[in-house]
Structure formats: C-alpha cells, structure tokens
Chains A and B, each alone.
Chain A
Amino acid sequence: MPTARSSVPHTAPSSAAIARQAEGAIVLDGVDKWYGTVHVLKSVSLSVSNGEKVVVCGPSGSGKSTLIRCINGLERHQNGRISVEGVEVVDRTLRQIRREVGMVFQSFNLFPHLTILQNCMLAPMESRKLSREEARDRSIEYLSRVHISEQADKYPAQLSGGQQQRAAIARALCMQPRIMLFDEPTSALDPEMISEVLDTMMELAASGMTMVCVTHEMGFAQKVADRVVFMDEGAIAEVGPPDQLFNSPSSERLALFLRRILSH
C-alpha cells in the first residue's frame, strides 16, 4: 500500500525518482521551528544518506531533540522542508513516513499494560496488518536479537532500565524500519546499563541501518558515527567526522562543550 502513494510523484516525470536517489534518506532544508516566540531551530539544513550513522550532540536546549523529533513529525516544523526517502513530511504523509522510521525515546515509553511481547506485536499488527502469528514470530526474532527473548512475557515494570530500552529498540525494529532515530537512549540509565544498550545499537549499526542518534556518549560516536553534528542555540554549529570534531574542534563553543562532557 505505501507503494501506491509513493508512485504519485511519477506524474511529474521520472525526475522525482532521480531526485530521491540523489537526496538520500533524510533531507532537512532550511528548517525553522518556534515554540511560541522561542526560535528553537534556526534554518537547519542537513542531509543523511542511506546507511549513514549520524550522531547529534550539543548542550541542553540546543534543539537536538527537537531536530530529530521533526524528522518523524512528532514536532512540526514551521518553515523549510523535511523529506524522508524523497517523501516530504506533511500531515498526510506522517503515517507513511513513520512506518519506515523507528524511534527510541529517552524514557522508553513502553506500554505498561502490555507484556514485552505484546508491546512488540501491536504496531506490526495494527499498521503493517500482519497476522497475530507473523507478528509474534517477528517479535520473538527481534527480541532475541536484542538478547531479551526470555523476558517476552513480562511487563515493562518488571524489567531493568537497560532491558526496557532494549525492548523499546526491538519494538521499533519490529516495524522493519529503514531509518532509526534515537533520542538520548541512554540518558535515563544507570552506568552499567548504558553499555548493554550501546552494544545493541552498535550491532544495529553494523547491520547497515540508517541511524540518527542524539547522545552524549562520545565513545559510541567515535566508534559508530560517520559524521557528528554539533548543535548550539538551535543551529548546526559544526559537522564532520568524529575524529576531526573531537580532536580539532574549530569553534571555541565546541571545545568548551567537549571539555565539559569529557571532564568527568
């Protein structure tokens, strides 16, 4: 069914298809967003290609969470253009885009009244129209991929934070998205649980998934990221490969930020 809609651009010759190829997985072009009078995203432009891993960092309030939440339309931008795999993010494309874009939240946001398995099965059954059996098989597959298949019949509150976050990752993967967004996935976790979640994310990265992660885990960025985006006051201050950004920051603002987060 998504193919029916994505074939619409063919009315404008095949240039649309070519544009999609060239455009990459996610394109933000001059995106602005205000909360009331506060300008939280200032003409942000960024392009993420297929299979690329981008880590977004920056001080709190710099707009990094807002930025990735605009990509799947949880926050709506007011100016500029965002497109995901060539489909522009507008009201009527939201559900189509969200089928292909998984998201993991800082606070997990698992459904507390459903078991881990039911958490995973819900969306594939409701928005991908899988049968109960297919959804169950797929859920068990992804739960074992994040190494918690033995917790499938427990409720979220019975799991540790790290297990809950891995369950949330599995839940998102069950939709078989082509892009994954991570909004500070380890910020709510105890130190010893951070590594188990990061390991899961690294395995996912190795599988070729396109990933955009807001995180302060610089070790993860160093190992996994193709590019690091440093945001400050609602704008992209610096972009580059992790080595370049971390070892020779070109702005005083980034150097200061790095000193602060690496000092402890």
Chain B
Amino acid sequence: MLIGIAIGTIGGIVLTSLLPGLRQVVRTYVTTIRGIPVLVQIVFWYNGLSALTNGAVNLPAYFAGILALGINEGAYMTEIVRAGIQSVDRGQREASQALSLSYVSMMRSVILPQAVRIAIPPTGNQVINLIKNTSLLFAIAIPEIFATGTNLFSMNFKYFEVIAVVAIWYLILAFGYGLIQRALERHFGRGRIGLFGSGAT
C-alpha cells in the first residue's frame, strides 16, 4: 500500500510547480478526487471501470485497490507539496537565480529540500490515513487486516477480541510510521534552530 503514497508523492511534486497549462489539469484532478469518498473511488476502479468498458478493462482487486488509494493520496499530497514549496522564502529563489542555477538544480538542491521539511508533518497524517483507509478495501474482497478480522469473528463470534486485535495492528503500523517520521524530520531539519529550542537538532 505504501506504493500508493510513492505514486502520490511523486505526482504531487512533479505536478504542482509546473507550467500554467498543466496547473489547470492538476487543479481539476485535486478537486475531483478530494470531492469523492475513498470507498466510492475503490469500487469505481474495481467494479465501475469494468462495467463502463463492458468488461474490456477488468482490474485485479489488488491492482484496483493500489490504484484507487494511490490516486486518492496523490490529490492530497499535491496540496501538501504545494504548501511546502510556497512556504520557501522568495529570497531562496532569487539567490539561486543570481547564482545562475537552472530551474531543475534550484528545485532539486534548494527549494524541495526546504519544502519537504514543511511537508513532513501533514504527510504523516496522510500516511496514517492511508494505512487506515486500507480497511475499506474489504469492499472489493481484498483480505486486508479488517476483512481478515470480520472473517474470523463471523466464525467464532468473539467480536471484542478480534476487533481489539485488528485495532492493535493498525496502531502498530501507525506507531511504526511515527518512528520513521521522526527520523525524517531530524534529517530535513538540519541547520535549523527550533522556534523555542536552541541549537540545531
């Protein structure tokens, strides 16, 4: 499922800061995707698309699930990356230009590393949302954690125990990502003196 975020992140980075023609396309994409419930999107990619094309395009459940969540993430990540880029001081762009850096060099070496720092916390929200949204994939019969759980308690009727175990699994995943996020924040926060702390952490 993390492949989904990768697609979304790359999509977000590439699409936000480019040409005015593309911008309109991206804006439409973001508006559309954010306006449709994830569950509806999942069912669309799995059942809807195949009905629309009279069965010509029939995505396997896993592929449809990854596609749906990836495309959904991409829309939110686009906004997060845009916010990150826009938060970088104008002087950074001017200094890069005055040093004759190309647009690509400027984005890669100056703007994006600073934008990523801003984007990490909201991206963390997205990652955890995505992990939890995988539970919606039970709708297209993917045996993820929640679906496995429902299968279990429909057989043994131990609702509380099974659901508790399911919840703990989600917690473990979210906690694990929390650790990764802290390492990322340390890496991209280098050279910065905290708002209230002293010294670069």
Contact residues of A with B, CB < 8 Å? 72-74, 94-95, 98-99, 101-103, 105, 107, 109-115, 122-123, 126-127, 155-158, 168, 171-172, 175
Contact residues of B with A, CB < 8 Å? 89, 91-92, 94-95, 97-102, 105, 109-110, 113-114, 117, 188, 190-193, 200
Q: Is the CB of B110 within 8 A of A98?
A: no
- What distance in Å separates the Cβ of B13 from its nearest Cβ neighbour in chain A? 17
- Given A99-B100, A157-B200, A158-B200, are A109 and B191 also a contact pair (CB < 8 Å)? no
Q: Is the CB of A74 within 8 A of B100?
A: no
- Given A127-B102, A127-B105, A155-B191, are A111 and B92 also a contact pair (CB < 8 Å)? yes
Q: Which residues of A contact B92 (CB under 8 A)?
A: 109, 111
- What distance in Å separates the Cβ of A65 from its nearest Cβ neighbour in chain B? 11
Q: Is the CB of A113 within 8 A of B117?
A: yes
CA distance A105 to B91 in the complex (A): 8
Q: Is the CB of B94 within 8 A of A74?
A: yes
Q: Is the CB of B98 within 8 A of A98?
A: yes
CA distance A105 to B96 in the complex (A): 12
- Given A123-B99, A126-B101, A156-B191, are A109 and B91 also a contact pair (CB < 8 Å)? yes
- What distance in Å separates the Cβ of B181 from its nearest Cβ neighbour in chain A? 18
| 18 interchain pairs, CB-CB under 8 A | A102-B98, A103-B98, A105-B94, A105-B98, A109-B92, A113-B188, A113-B190, A113-B191, A122-B101, A122-B105, A122-B110, A123-B99, A126-B109, A127-B101, A127-B105, A157-B200, A175-B99, A175-B100
- Given A126-B105, A126-B109, are A98 and B99 also a contact pair (CB < 8 Å)? yes
Of chain A, the residue at the smallest CB distance from B104 is A126
Q: Is the CB of A123 within 8 A of B91?
A: no
Given A74-B98, A112-B192, A155-B200, 7 new contacts (CB under 8 A): A72-B98, A74-B94, A101-B98, A109-B89, A109-B92, A123-B101, A127-B102
Q: Which residues of B contact A110 (CB under 8 A)?
A: 95
Q: Is the CB of A107 within 8 A of B91?
A: yes
Q: Is the CB of B191 within 8 A of A122?
A: no
Q: Which residues of A contact B100 (CB under 8 A)?
A: 95, 98-99, 123, 127, 175
Of the candidates A112, A113, A127, A157, the one whose C-beta lies within 8 Å of that of B99 is A127
Q: Is the CB of B99 within 8 A of A122?
A: yes
CA distance A83 to B179 in the complex (A): 55
Of the candidates B94, B102, B117, B190, the one whose C-beta lies within 8 Å of that of A155 is B190
- What distance in Å separates the Cβ of A125 from its nearest Cβ neighbour in chain B? 9
Minimum-distance CB pairs A-B, first 10? A155-B191, A109-B95, A123-B99, A98-B100, A109-B91, A103-B98, A127-B100, A126-B105, A99-B100, A157-B193
CA distance A158 to B200 in the complex (A): 8
CA distance A74 to B188 in the complex (A): 28
- Given A105-B94, A109-B91, are A114 and B99 also a contact pair (CB < 8 Å)? no
Of the candidates A95, A103, A114, A127, the one whose C-beta lies within 8 Å of that of B191 is A114
Of the candidates B89, B91, B97, the one whose C-beta lies within 8 Å of that of A98 is B97
- What distance in Å separates the Cβ of B174 from its nearest Cβ neighbour in chain A? 28
Q: Which residues of A contact B102 (CB under 8 A)?
A: 95, 126-127
Q: Is the CB of A113 within 8 A of B97?
A: no
Q: Which residues of A contact B117 (CB under 8 A)?
A: 113
- What distance in Å separates the Cβ of B107 from its nearest Cβ neighbour in chain A? 12
CA distance A5 to B111 in the complex (A): 29
- What distance in Å separates the Cβ of A58 from its nearest Cβ neighbour in chain B? 21
Q: Is the CB of A113 within 8 A of B193?
A: no
- Given A122-B101, A126-B105, A127-B102, are A157 and B191 also a contact pair (CB < 8 Å)? yes
Q: Which residues of B contact A171 (CB under 8 A)?
A: 99
